[in-house]
Amino acid sequence: MTSTLKNSDPTGAGDIGITVVDLYTSVEKIYPREVQGRYNRWRTASVWLLLGLYYLLPWLSIDGQPLVLFDLPARKFYVFGLIFWPQDFILLTGLLVLAALSLFFFTALAGRLWCGYACPQTVWTEVFIWLERLAEGPSGKRKRRDRGAWTLEKIWRKVFKHFLWLLFALWTGLTFVGFFTPITELTVNLWHWQAGGWETFWVLFYGFATWGNAGLLREQVCKYMCPYARFQSAMFDDDTLVISYDQARGEPRGSRSRKLAHAELADNKLGDCIDCTLCVQVCPTGIDIRQGLQYECIACAACIDVCDDVMQRMQYPTGLIRYTTQNAMAKQPGKIIRPRILLYAGLLLAILTAWIIGVSQRAPVMLDVMRDRNALFRELPDNQVENSFLLRIMNRTGQAQQFTVTASGIPGLEVHGMAQLSLEPGKIGSLPVTLRAPTQDIGLRNDISFTVQAQSEPGLNITEQSRFFGPRRSLR
Amino acid sequence: MNEQPQQPLSRPLAQRVAAILWPSFLCAGIATMVLFALIDPVDLHAISFPEWKLSRTAGYSIGFFMFWLVTAAASTGTWLLLRRSAVLNQAGSNH
Ligand code: SF4
Ligand code: SF4
């Protein structure tokens, strides 16, 4: 693909003093070793919880209303009993801002918790690795087989793995599209090869992306593609919880016989690290945590689990690699509450409060009153004055509604003609309304109000102010 | 402790493609969300190419891909400008 950058090109451009060293370190495949331990249990639990929610939620409904459905074809979002319309866009924005702020907050507090336990990349990769292990066995075997010749066993194991991956990826794609279009119909349609072209396309697209990201790219997504990995350090300070190797305790590292273990330690010849390199072997991003904090580290804590196990077997205290802070490592006083944390928490709280108020204050009906721009008023022969308005009404309830418009504010004010409008849920309708009032009862401008009342629900109404104009009276 | 290996001048093709496509994908997603929260693709359809038959889903999808095209073009531009002179001066190089 890319092997042209050598100093031997015929044009001689390579002789201008550029030394080029090993330009294409091809990405070496990483075979992270299996690990057991408490953090691994946490991650497994997190995978089950998050993926359980992901695969289940689109199927659930309460009272015939989907629990979570961002119904794009109908432009209507159901979220845990609330319904959002495109007009609630500001709330959606608020939600995204909240999500971003929580990420900042948790990163400042506890480092890359998100990466290790909750990022879809981590979570799906974990499942893909489980499936891979099912088909191809543990990492050591896998590595040896990959280096060896293509045998029948190697072929069927690989085929079986990709078959499992494919099934899982397709199911993932189906579920993804199921968040945006009713999933039961979608599944039935797909089953009968009758789903719409675009739906099918997105199922395949998302399935393919999952297969590629979680199956093939894995840690490369974190290292080379993830924007968060690049700016997370901006949220870090010396009191942020990070995964770190205790240099002071571990060095000088070195292997030792188990009998000598404690004697050599006592002689101060060796630190606690027995240089077994297990922490490197389990690392999904292929780094050595003993070289210090690195941006590649996704804080999965696999190295903690494996090193704790080693320490226990050596009968040393655990925690040579552990969750700690830079300050704690340096034996400096640290604090949890600090300006950065307070700032993030304060913003988070403020926006959350505003968001909750915003959601709870959403009026189920919206009303916009616009005056007719052509004429202020019209004088009628029977000593009446007429004003025209355009009402825009939005039905934000989940049911169709029949609305009736009334007006008040001037004695004798009446609505002329039809003043009713039926609206499907989520729809906005315009209704031209003409008001008439006796000339002797009105002044130059009069404050009036419109009320829109739903016929089926007495409590469902909204009132909006406007003005009614009249002629200048000759007698004054 | 061994030294850090020298960083290569140019990254493998897959990494470059990924680094261009992925952030532009995210941005296109956000732009699509904002656009279609404010505008119904059906309305957009009515004022643009009413003679074509397009569903809402098609509208969202086309909108998304148009955004992605634009954002990916911007990302590619950034990458082109950030290439090091050593790479550019290398005749016959296509990075
Ligand atoms: S697992 Fe622990 S003991 Fe083994 S090399 Fe890593 S830090 Fe040292
Ligand atoms: S260094 Fe440890 S915590 Fe970081 S990615 Fe590797 S195994 Fe996970």
Q: What is the pTM of this model?
A: 0.76
Residue A45: its pLDDT value, please? 92
Q: pLDDT digits over A20-45, tens only? A: 444 344 567 788 888 888 898 998 99
pLDDT of residue A15: 40
Instruction: Please give the pLDDT value at position A52.
Output: 93
- Range A228-232 average pLDDT: 83
Q: What integer best gives the mean pLDDT of chain A? A: 83
Q: Closest residue (by CA) to atom 1 of ligand 2?
A: A289
Cα(A235) to centroid(ligand 1), Å: 28
> Which of A172-181, A356-365, A370-379, B7-16 is predicted least confidently?
B7-16
pLDDT value for A370: 85
Q: How confident is the model at residue B90 (pLDDT cuts 50, 70, 90)?
A: low
Q: Which helix (H) or strand (E) holds B86?
A: helix B85-88
Q: At A268, is the pLDDT very low, low, confident or very high (cuts 50, 70, 90)?
A: low
Q: Is B58 on the interface with A (CB under 8 A)?
A: yes
Interface test with A, best of B2, B90, B93, B94 (most A CBs within 10 A): B90
**Partner-chain residue, chosen from B12, B23, B57, that has the shortest CB–CB distance to A26:** B12
Tens digits of residue pLDDT in A142-164: 888 888 888 888 899 999 999 99
Is pLDDT above 50 for A10?
no
Distance A39 CA to ligand 2 centre (A): 12
Tell me the range of A146-150, A288-292, B39-43 where mean pLDDT is highest: A288-292
Backbone conformation region of residue A315, classed left if phi is above 0, alpha if psi is from -120 to 50, else beta? left
Does B95 contact chain A (CB < 8 Å)? Answer: yes
**Chain centroid to CA A430: how far?**
37
Q: What is the pLDDT of residue B43?
A: 79
pLDDT tens for each residue of A196-229: 788 889 999 999 999 988 888 888 888 888 888 8
Joined tokens for residue B13: 């093709």
Any ligand 2 atom below 6 A from CB of A242: no
pLDDT score of A20 = 40
Q: Is A365 in the pocket of ligand 1 (CB under 6 A)?
A: no
Burial of A63 from C-beta contacts in 10 A (0-12 / 13-18 / 19+): exposed
Question: Chain A: nearest CA to B28, how far in angstroms?
Answer: 15
- Comparing CB atoms, the residue among B10, B22, B57 nearest residue A73 is B57
What pLDDT is stored for residue B9 in this prediction?
60
Assess contact for A189 and A195: CB atoms under 8 A: yes
Which residues between 205 and 224 in chain A have a beta carbon less than 8 angstroms from any beta carbon of chain B?
217, 220-221, 224
From A97-106, A296-305, A436-445, the region with the lowest mean pLDDT: A436-445
pLDDT for A362 equals: 78
Per-residue confidence (pLDDT) for residue A88, from 0 to 100 = 80
User: How many whole angstroms separate alpha carbon A464 and alpha carbon A403?
Assistant: 14
Which among B13, B23, B37 has CB closest to A2? B13
Long-range contacts of the stretch A379-382 (C-beta < 8 A, 24+): A379/A439, A379/A471, A380/A436
pLDDT higher than threshold 50 for residue A9: no
Using the mean position of ligand 2's atoms as its centre, give its distance from the Cα of residue A193 in Å.
44
**CB of A252 within 8 Å of any CB in chain B?**
no
The pLDDT tens digits for A358-396 are: 888 877 888 888 888 777 888 888 888 999 998 888 888
Tokens of B63: 């909108």
A45 CB-near residues (< 8 Å, 6+ apart): none
Q: What was the pLDDT predicted at A218? A: 84
Mutation target to probe the A interface, by most A beta carbons within 10 A, among B57, B84, B85 is B57
